[in-house]
Amino acid sequence: MDHPIELACIIDDDKIYVNLVKKIIEIKKLSQNLIIFKNGKEALDYFKAILENVSEERLPDIIFLDLNMPVMDGWEFLSEFVKIKNTFNKKITLYVVSSSIDPRDLERAKSFNMVTDYLIKPIELKRFEKIFEREVA
Amino acid sequence: MLNDLQLNSILEDFDVAYWKINLLTKEISWSEHFNYLIGNPDTGTNKLDFFLNNILHKDYRYDFREYFENLTDHYKPFTTEIRLKLENGKYRWFECRNLKSREKGLADAAVLLFVNIHQAKRDQYTIEENFFYYRETAEMTSTGGWYLDVTTNAVYWDNVTKKILDCPMDYEPHPEDKMRFYANEHHEKVERMFKKCSKFGIPFKVEIKMRTLHNREFWVRATGKPVYNNEQEVIGIRGVYQDIDEQKTNELNLQNSLDIIASQNSRLFNFAHIVSHQLRSHSSNLSLIAQLLREARTAEDKLDLLLNVNDISENLEDAINELNEVVTRQNNLKKERQLVKFKAALDVVIASTSSLIKRENAEIIAEFDKLNEINYISEYLESILLNLITNAIKYKFQGRKPIIYIQTYKENGESFLEISDNGMGIDLDEHGDKMFGMYKTFHRHPEANGIGLFITKNQVEAMGGSISVTSTVNIGTTFKIKF
């Protein structure tokens, strides 16, 4: 991987999962940088601050969003994120990653245009790598 | 005097036909109209035989012959109702009677009149039939009629009303025990609806509980409509009572079953939720670790990953404990209500949380003097108090001594419990709608597990009450439970 993704982002409250994904990204060198948020609100506040004070270039290239989180869950994050989406041009790929196998969750996630795909935990290493490769290509 | 022609035409207009009988020769002549009615048949020589065999319904043959012979032989007058076959082949009702001759000397002839009474007869049958259906329906559906004279307060009941109220048939209701036949809890309602009907003519249709002579209470559908006099004043109320006890009991049972099914369904839903969101997330982490282990190159990496397995097993155990908590709590539903003292329930809760209260130096003030007990399940009341009190302490305002104020009271006949704190509060605009949902935590607090308020709401609602919340961030929160 000569040109890994510059910045990946994980929004998830499961510490163990986050640590494991972090490890994968480090070992496989899938992304140069990684930022992690414990819930939707932390992520949203950060993105808003970046857009206001820095530059949209500093937004992540790819986001992995969990659904079931305290304070602001994945659904609320998505509906808030839709509102600020028009204020910048950078292309951000967003994956919903959840342990829920409820088909209603899957349907609902796909109803958001910005959601590229719905990944069911556990994510497969091969699939995960492919997602990053596709982003770079 | 009218001549025969005029008389004939009048009789025809009234659909009256007649026979003239010569009492000496027994010769019979039929009026034109009579001939017309039966279709001008060829009668042969014996008109009486032809009539008996072809025109008269066979049920009346014997009687008619008797009458006829009594008339011709003994001048005995008669009146009878018979059925005749008309020219269209159908039988119609006629009244047959002879005209009395006033002058005895002229009694050599008799006149038999045939008056069409078919419509009247049919109406009579319809009325009898309707009455029959009405009575059968009333009996079958246990529907009794009643009338209240609003000027004298006199009450009239029909037999079915007496029957459904266990009263003997000769029982006469007295105006002064008008209320005696209604269950106590519905007296107010009954007074109101009778007043509205007698004063303003507003009809009613209600389901109420009545009480029989033997004090058995049962459900009735009661309707009442005003009866007006010519001046358009309400002079009475007329209506029916329908015994719907069986239906009502079934309905209540059905509602009960529905409630139980609904609560079991929601338990199943929660079960699925926990399995999906909690158990699955741990198992998926395990599987992720397995994948990484396969790829890990150094012993150090592998050891590092194995440490995670330990964390996962702990989390998994917590999740299973929560699951167990939800299941055991639901089993309490089968318990009976009993009078529970608020003070006793609070003492149990304070004893079990004494270490938390002491650690946080929390103060609990309770005022139960306005309402000191409630018909409830004690475990529920304790669990509700426990959840709300521990919440209040857990989410205290940092640096402020937690104070919890608990009071009970009655308002408009309803019982209330309020628990207020001076804690960190919740932004209800943001979180209000999902406040009581499962696994909803609003504070970045390590002890928030998102299950307490969900269980509290479930318990309050399982007992037929409701819970609401008001809160101001940094000031405090008040939970209000209506029992």
Asked if B4-123 and B252-332 have one fold, the answer is no
Residue B210 · residue B218 · CB < 8 Å = yes
Task: Map tokens 């009271």 to a residue.
Answer: B409
* Sign of the C-alpha dihedral computed for residues B382, B385, B389 and B390 taken in this order: positive
Q: Is the pLDDT of residue A76 over 50?
A: yes
For the cut 70, the answer to whether the pLDDT of residue B333 exceeds it is: no
Residue B86, SS3 per DSSP: coil
pLDDT at B287 (0 to 100): 87
Q: What is the mean pLDDT of residues B98-117?
A: 74
- Residue A107 pLDDT > 60, yes or no? yes
Class of domain B141-243: alpha beta
Contact at CB, A99 and B277, closer than 8 angstroms: yes
* Nearest by Cα to B389 from B353, B440, B335: B353
Whether B332 has a pLDDT exceeding 70, the answer reads: no
**Is 60 exceeded by the pLDDT of residue A98?**
yes
**Candidates B276, B291, B292; nearest CB to A99:** B276
Cα–Cα distance between A38 and B255 in angstroms, integer?
44
Using left for φ > 0, alpha for ψ between -120 and 50, and beta otherwise, residue B89 falls in left
Find the CB nearest B441 among A71, A121, A123: A71
User: Could you tell me how far CA B27 lies from the centroid of its own chain?
Assistant: 72
How is the beta sheet containing A115-120 ordered, strand by strand?
A31-37, A5-11, A62-65, A93-98, A115-120
The pLDDT value recorded for residue B449 is 53
**Choice between B3 and B203, residue whose per-residue pLDDT is larger:** B203
Query: Looking at residue B192, what is its pLDDT?
Result: 93
Site of tokens 């009492």: B23
Segment B329-355 mean pLDDT: 78
In Å, how far are B54, B60, B126, B281 from B83, measured between CA atoms? 12, 8, 18, 91
The arithmetic mean of pLDDT across residues B314-333, rounded, is 71
Percentage helix, strand, coil for chain A under 3-state DSSP, each rounded to 5: 45, 20, 30
Which CATH topology does B4-123 take?
Beta-Lactamase (3.30.450)
Strand partners, B198: none
* pLDDT band at B77; cut points 50, 70, 90: confident
Cα separation of A129 and B103, whole Å? Answer: 131
| pLDDT attached to residue B459 | 79
Query: Would you say B337 and B375 are in contact if contact means Cβ atoms under 8 Å apart?
Result: yes
With a cut of 70, say whether residue A60 has pLDDT above it.
Answer: yes
What is the Rg, in whole angstroms, of the alpha carbon atoms belonging to chain A? 14
- Pick B252-332's CATH classification: 1.10.8, 3.30.980, 1.20.58, 1.20.1050: 1.20.58
The per-residue pLDDT of chain B, averaged, comes to 84
Arithmetic mean of pLDDT, B6-29: 82
Q: Which CATH class is domain B335-482?
A: alpha beta
Tracing tokens 């009234």 back to the chain, one arrives at: B14
CB contact under 8 A, A24 and B440: no
Alpha-carbon gap, residue B12 to B464, rounded angstroms? 78
Spatial separation of the C-alpha atoms in residues B339 and A50, rounded to whole Å: 60
Residue A78 has pLDDT above 60, yes or no: yes
Closest residue by Cα to residue B318 from B282, B349, B346, B265: B282
Q: Which residues of B touch A96 (CB under 8 A)?
A: none
The pair phi, psi for residue B291, each rounded to 5°, is -60, -45
Establish whether the linkage from the previous residue to A122 is cis, with ω within 30° of 0. yes
* Distance from the A16 Cα atom to the nearest Cα atom in chain B, whole angstroms: 7
Closest CA to B68 of B36, B21, B34: B21
Higher pLDDT, B257 or B18: B18
Residues of B with CB under 8 A from a CB of A: 272, 276-277, 280-281, 283-289, 291-292, 295, 305, 308, 311-312, 315, 439-444, 448, 450
Give the per-residue pLDDT at B334.
Answer: 59
Facing residue for A24 by CB, picked from B292, B308, B443:
B292
Average pLDDT (B405-416) is: 89
What tokens appear for B376 in the block? 């409830």
Nearest residue in chain B measured CA to CA from A128: B288
Whole-number pLDDT of residue A68: 84
DSSP string of A6-73, one letter each residue: EEEEEE-S-HHHHHHHHHHHHHHT-EEEEEEESSHHHHHHHHHHHHHHS-GGGS-SEEEE-SS-SSS-
In this prediction, residue B57 carries a pLDDT of: 93
Instruction: Tally A–B CB contacts below 8 A.
Output: 68
pLDDT at res. A1: 47
Domain residue ranges in chain B: 4-123, 141-243, 252-332, 335-482
Structural domains present in chain A: 1-98 (3.40.50.2300)
Q: Cβ separation of A125 and B287 shorter than 8 Å? A: no
The yes-or-no verdict on residue B110 having pLDDT over 60 is yes
Residue of B nearest to A72 (CA): B442
**pLDDT-derived band at B240, boundaries 50, 70, 90:** very high
Q: Element (H or E) spanning B109, and its range? A: strand B109-116
Q: Does A124 touch chain B (CB under 8 A)?
A: yes
> Are the beta carbons of B308 and A14 separated by less than 8 Å?
no
Asked whether B134 and B140 are in contact (CB, 8 A), the reply is no
Dist CA A2 CA B105 (whole Å): 146
How many angstroms separate the CA atoms of B36 and B360, rounded? Answer: 113
Higher pLDDT, B207 or B450: B207
Q: A71 contacts in B (CB within 8 Å)?
A: 441-444
For residue B276, give how far its alpha carbon lies from the nearest alpha carbon of chain A (Å): 5
